[in-house]
Amino acid sequence: MDAIIADIAAKLNQQVTNVDQFLTEMSKFAEIQSEIDAARERIASLGTSCTELEDELVVLEDVCNEMQQNNNKFEHEYQLRKYRERKHLELEQVKGHYEYHCLAWTLLPSMLYQYLLPSVL
């Protein structure tokens, strides 16, 4: 009988130890739950930050696109001004040659009259 009592006492002591361990672990449950809640809040905050960052990146992309369009516009206007200036200079050269030839044709009869006519007479 002493052996049976000793066996029951050992089993009860093991159960008491197991209950103590269980209670110790359960006391940590509230702390673990609060850490999980804090982690959820940080994840939610991180998600919000990512959304805000995405929105800012879209705005930045729009600004970059607008700047690129302005640069293209300015470059186009600059090239157009250079082209117009080149064409204006070419026109001035053509006008100069034309005026020279017109002047030559207007002076030609009087020059012919002045130089050729006296030798014929």
pTM (2 decimals)?
A: 0.50
DSSP H/E element including 103: helix 2-120
Q: Identify the pLDDT of residue 119.
A: 58
* pLDDT tens digit sequence for 3-57: 899 989 999 999 999 999 999 988 888 899 999 999 999 999 999 999 999 999 9
Q: Identify the pLDDT of residue 85.
A: 95
Phi and psi angles of residue 77, each rounded to the nearest 5 degrees, phi first = -65, -40
Give the CB-side neighbour count of residue 109, counting CA atoms within 13 A: 2
